[in-house]
Amino acid sequence: MSQHLLQLQGVSLSFGGLKALDNVSFTVRPGEIIGLIGPNGAGKTTLVNACTGVHRPSKGRIVFEGMAIQGLPAWRVAHLGMARTFQIVQPFPRMSVLDNVAAAALFGGGIRNMREAREFAAAQLDFVGLEDQAGKPAATLSLAHRKRLELAKSLALKPRLVWLDEVNAGLSSADLDNTLSVIRRIAARGITIVMIEHLMKVVLGVSTRILVLKNGALIADGEPAQVISDPAVVEAYLGAHYTQDGERIHG
């Protein structure tokens, strides 16, 4: 296996005249926790969609574990070991929480037997701390629990890489700590993580590397401390006003 888990080479994606992704190239190595940041509309979710097969890039190559995956349908990508959570949570509302996760194991996870899929699902619910919600319909969960259900579902795909699309947005600080500990434990399982995140506390606290998108183009890629002090990043992300005031970024 090469040392690249995922490699993007000049990926562009246009919606009509709008260039949502503009010649994006980067690599993800196994074991990294990457923070993907950028202002609203920078193309972060579009990047996830391009990599997971929701949108087909208009240009460029995406190589996952040595296999070119650009243009593959999303369900195939899920079978290959790339999972994602949705910014707006997407449960199967009338299924039990357990069966929501079992469905992921049954399809992308490759466990074709329902009973074994449920057992595997139960273990994932344990892992994210939702075991006592297993029997409830997913529609009855609180937002914090739904976010963790998304995590459990993506883990049931047995992924080697997960995209976490704002799993912390809208959480109270207690729930936030909880999710953060889950994210750290996911990484400890050897699963590589790319997380879209607006909360700088989370990005700086967890990431081993940060990517910054602006208007669909990658403007920075490096160590958190180095990226965060890059004037171009600070200007793009927070406005020129903040460039002299490092403290405010951490707040």
Residues that bind other proteins (CB under 8 A): 52, 54, 73-76, 78-79, 83-84, 86, 90-96, 99, 102-104, 106-109, 112, 114, 135, 153, 156-157
Smallest separation (angstroms) from other proteins to the CB of 100: 9
Q: State both tokens at 214.
A: 């602006």
Smallest separation (angstroms) from other proteins to the CB of 14: 22
For the stretch 201-236, what's the b/e string if a residue is b when 16 or more beta carbons lie within 10 angstroms of its beta carbon?
ebbbebbebbbbbbebbbbbeeebeebbebeebbeb
- C-alpha distances in Å from residue 210, one per residue of 113, 166, 233: 39, 15, 11
Q: Which is nearer to other proteins, 76 or 185 (CB)?
A: 76
Q: Which is nearer to other proteins, 112 or 241 (CB)?
A: 112
Rounded Cα distance, 233 and 237, in Å: 6
Q: Which is nearer to other proteins, 62 or 176 (CB)?
A: 62
Query: Cβ distance 174 to 196 under 8 Å?
Result: no
- C-alpha distances in Å from residue 29, one per residue of 48, 58, 65, 77, 116: 17, 25, 10, 18, 31
Rounded Cα distance, 184 and 194, in Å: 12
Smallest separation (angstroms) from other proteins to the CB of 154: 8
Q: Which is nearer to other proteins, 103 or 233 (CB)?
A: 103
> How many residues in total does the chain contain?
251
Q: Which is nearer to other proteins, 22 or 159 (CB)?
A: 159
Smallest separation (angstroms) from other proteins to the CB of 177: 27
Smallest separation (angstroms) from other proteins to the CB of 236: 30
